[in-house]
Amino acid sequence: MQEIRPATKKDLSAITEIYNDAVSNTTATFHIEPKSIREQEKWFDKHTGKYTVIVAVENDVVLGWASLSSWSDRCAYSNTADVAVYIKKGFRGKGIGKQLVKELINKGSKNGLHTAIAKICSENEVSLNMFGKLGFKHIGTMKEVGFKFGKLLDVHLMQIIF
């Protein structure tokens, strides 16, 4: 049985491994260079107060993680979060992402956020469908804003208001 809990710095190695697999092999992120543990520590340290990182764990193995991050450093956006979710290869398609995003929705609402926005590559139909089923609404498409694996990529913006 898996557990969803707040991430700790002890989880950073697994979080980084999962993320770097997405960097190298998918369009789920537009980073093109793997992240170091040091870079991830700086990212993790920004998740305080209303912003959070959670993990799905089973038998002490991190199967996936999700985060609510600051949407912008401009003060007027302080109640808006960027939502992200990544699942370990081999565990995708088992509902872990859905459970993590549901928990983020609960945490965001309890932490006083007003809204969360997901940026999802147009190729990622699984994520587009999952976020839609969880109440996120399509609010726009940014055309050809990313270039990865030799092609221009669109990004859909999906939003939920708590």
- pLDDT over threshold 80, residue 102: yes
69: phi > 0 → left, psi -120 to 50 → alpha, else beta; which? Answer: beta
Q: What is the pLDDT of residues 123-157, one digit of tens each?
A: 999 999 999 999 999 999 999 999 999 999 999 99
Structural domain including 34 reads: 3-161
Mean local confidence (pLDDT), 110-115: 96
- What is the count of structural domains for the chain? 1
Find, among 73, 78, 137, 67, the residue nearest to 105 by Cα.
67
CATH assignment of the domain containing 100: 3.40.630.30
